[in-house]
Structure 1
Amino acid sequence: MNSPAVRPSLRTHAPPAEPAPCTIAPYPAAGAAVWHGAWTTPVMRPSAAPWFETWAEQGFNSQSLRQIVRVHTGGTHVRIRLSNAYGRTPLRLTSASIGRTAGAAALHPGTMRTLCFAGCPSTIIPAHGSTVSDPVTLPTEPLDQLSITLYFKEPTGPATYHQLSMAHTYRAEGDHHRDLAGTAYTDTVEPAYGSWYYLEGVETSGDHPLPRAVVAFGDSITDGFGATIDGNDRYPDFLAERLLTAGRPRPVLNAGIGSNKLLTDSPVGGDAGLARFTRDVLDQPRVGTVLVLIGVNDIQQTDPANGTEGDSPPVTAGQLIDGHRALIRAARTRGVRAVGATLTPFRGAAGWTAESEAIRGQVNQWISTSGAYDAVVDMGRALDPDDTGRIRDDLHIGDHLHPNPSGYRAMAGAIDLAALDQ
């Protein structure tokens, strides 16, 4: 699987000198800023991952954590959101920084910025709480990669995190939050499905407001399992690139969680889609449209080692449809356009049964014809153009369930960009 071609930078100006530590950037003035979500990920309670190692249960102690994300909007200023939503005790963050990624754990010289919180280089996030950093001046362009480094001098306890990042996260012993070189960051998790810890969002602000964000909401097929490690080739990534190429740039935020279900909580897949929809979609900055693709994990029955629980009670098409209706109502209450995506095929996968296929067909018929959604994207047909009931062999990773990068590109290509507009 090949990573997508690197897009040439749009930057025509040199980055400014770094502001003095703990000095809040003078722009934007209080009350005048328009902040856009440039990147986000849904957070989860710490748990033992069934198929790869994470650092969530053990947490961090006298360690620096460097995490790399690709932003989908540019601007002149940047800030981050951190979450301790599932922490049992206050989280003490000793120091933090941000800069443009130069490859692996290295940063470009001249782009390192110290992050502060209400003017202080450290902060305490209450149990079940969150915080936003002060803005710093750091010019960014769409598709730039940023490195966010967090240093924890004291034990954190189990970490609020996002289980599946499909990207390397790096750890160093001691305080290396201002290192430009990545040589101290010798610890990663292999295989590098990766996770993000405490980091919930990156926001940008600039001279002109952008169109409102699109949030992609769903399970592992939105989260991007099967994408290239560090390749940024999930379907929301391809969608952001399409919008940029079409001259219609806008934020595309990924609110997918691997193994997530619409109707029930899961120790592997996090809070139910119904429970997390407000936080992970509607509370994002300047949301205009949500693209909903969720329900396969509710209807398939597989072994827990594959990410879903085999003893979950089966659901009916009516229950799933009621769940989708609840999402639509919640979106419209907040003035957000709701676009429904048909459930993708999984015949040949471990959890497929004739009964589950019948439910998928009924739900897809309702999504496609009921008129309940403001618009519909046929993701099922994008992966199964000949309507065989299976993902085409060249579009999945071999498990008949998860698309490969070509499959994710096909999904993004099936979206009518005009259908995303409010």
Structure 2
Amino acid sequence: MKKLAALLLAAATGVALAPAAQAAPHGGFTAIWGASPHAPTDGFGPSWGTAGFENQTVRQVVRLNGGGPALRIRLANTYGTSPLKVTGATIARTDTGATVKPGSVRHLTFHGTRSTTIPAGAELASDPTLFPVAPLTKLTVTLYLAEPTGPATGHVFATATTYRATGDHRADTSADAFTETTQSWFYLAGVDAVDTTPRRDTVVTFGDSITDGAGATVDADNRYPDELAERLRGRLNVVNEGIGGNRVLNDSPCFGEKATTRFARDALSQPDVRTVIVLEGINDIGFPLFAHPCTTPATQITAEELIAGHRELIRQAHAKGVRILGATLLPYKGALYFSAEGEAIRDALNTWIRTSGEYDGVVDLDKALSDPTDPDKLLATYDSGDALHPNDKGYRAMADAVDLTQL
């Protein structure tokens, strides 16, 4: 309780904490929700992010995969072209849709004031506010953006509904003003809780659209990291740092920087990170056969190059004292960008992950989700319909394949 009191006092007064009050990793916070930021794009249709916001309120609902006595949010202007003015922000307990529970709205402060400006390229955390939450609680985060924001840093494939209203509705409990919706997140990069334990508590799931949750039911929180959090029930927190379309070896104009570049920010810099599970590489294999502006550069890769990229992730994790697990790539026969040559690369990477001993542990998702009669294919009961992304049952099977003792 002394740690919590010190954090809240610092927030109220704007005074920096003394070193003793910051004894826990990352200043006494642990990550309990996250979304990797990337540049706005219209690559898959019109997006609120490319135009940005002006005199609008954005309401976002997230499920917290951990709990704690007090919370802060992290906002990212990583890809903004100018300073971002946040006129105000609130958190509240979610009711249904854009409705929040009466009496639960809390105005957030930033260095003691309700408004803040985040420089272009920067990220900023709010002050902590007393707001006890249990693991698997839904939280509504509302931002009022009075001034023009320019292009908005965000996360395109949220598999969750975001709501927008004209004017200042950050404190509304009803959904009446929120007449527009999309399925992306904007500016919100993380939610942290005050850390009440001396150990590292956060597991980061790092990868592409299969970690991000493509194919899962919208607003149902059935992504594999969510299902893993349900197995853990607060014993450890789970943060989802997947980006749909992401690759290990090449950047994308739509799908973020390559994994070896963004790993330090999105995985290793999460407050209180303990273990990272890596599931990535299928887009490196398939994108050269899938012509689209978002897949450029469509560089042909070899198994050796992909293994070298994974080795770089392992090197970075071990340099930070973080445990790292390798997940085998799921079967993808029948997918739009399947090829026999690509399958040979997938097999080679999976064999290396299983047998090299270079990862600290292995999550064999290939074995868990493949069709026993045709191991190059997803089992039909786990297939969302594109032969690449699992459905809700498949994501549950992925979470069940994780040996919790390895975390």
Output the TM-score relative to the length of structure 2. 0.92
Q: 1:353 aligns with which of 317, 334, 339?
A: 339
CA displacement, residues 86-118 of structure 1 (integer Å, 9 cap, x when unaligned):
111100111110011011011111211001100
Q: 2:28 aligns with which of 9, 34, 44?
A: 34
Letter in 2 for 1:398: G
Q: 1:74 aligns with which of 67, 72, 75?
A: 67
CA displacement, residues 61-106 of structure 1 (integer Å, 9 cap, x when unaligned):
0000000100011111000000101111100111110011011011
Identical counterparts, % of pairs: 47
Q: CA deviation at 1:23?
A: 4.3
Q: 1:402 aligns with which of 367, 389, 405?
A: 389
Query: Does the CA-based 8 Å contact 1:297-1:308 persist in structure 2?
Result: no
Structure number with higher helix proportion: 2
Letter in 1 for 2:37: V
Letter in 2 for 1:224: G
2:82 alignment partner in structure 1:
89
Q: Is 2:249 the counterpart of 1:263?
A: yes
1:181 alignment partner in structure 2:
174
1:131-150 mapped onto 2 (5 Å cutoff): 131-150=124-143
Query: Does the CA-based 8 Å contact 1:25-1:135 persist in structure 2?
Result: no
Q: Is 2:322 the counterpart of 1:336?
A: yes
2:221 alignment partner in structure 1:
232
> What are structure 1's unaligned runs of at least 5 residues?
1-18
Aligned residues: 390
Q: Aligned-pair RMSD on alpha carbons? A: 1.9
Q: CA deviation at 1:54?
A: 2.2
Query: Does the CA-based 8 Å contact 1:24-1:134 persist in structure 2?
Result: no
Q: CA deviation at 1:419?
A: 1.2
Q: CA deviation at 1:24?
A: 6.4
Q: Secondary structure at the match of 1:46?
A: coil
1:259-298 mapped onto 2 (5 Å cutoff): 259-298=245-284
Letter in 2 for 1:414: A
2:204 alignment partner in structure 1:
215
1:8 alignment partner in structure 2:
none
CA displacement, residues 32-75 of structure 1 (integer Å, 9 cap, x when unaligned):
6621101001000111132x442110100000000010001111
1:243 alignment partner in structure 2:
232
Q: Secondary structure at the match of 1:103?
A: coil
Letter in 1 for 2:89: A
Query: Does the CA-based 8 Å contact 2:212-2:243 persist in structure 1?
Result: yes
CA displacement, residues 393-414 of structure 1 (integer Å, 9 cap, x when unaligned):
1111111001000000111111
1:155-166 mapped onto 2 (5 Å cutoff): 155-166=148-159
Q: Secondary structure at the match of 2:51?
A: coil
Q: CA deviation at 1:383?
A: 1.1
1:300-315 mapped onto 2 (5 Å cutoff): 300-301=286-287, 302-304=289-291, 309=295, 312-315=298-301
Q: 2:101 aligns with which of 100, 105, 108?
A: 108
Query: Does the CA-based 8 Å contact 1:74-1:206 persist in structure 2?
Result: no
Q: CA deviation at 1:275?
A: 0.6
* Partners of 1:384 and 1:300 in 2: CA distance: 18
> What are structure 2's unaligned runs of at least 5 residues?
1-7
CA displacement, residues 128-179 of structure 1 (integer Å, 9 cap, x when unaligned):
0111101111110000000110001111000001111000000000000010
* Partners of 1:396 and 1:355 in 2: CA distance: 22
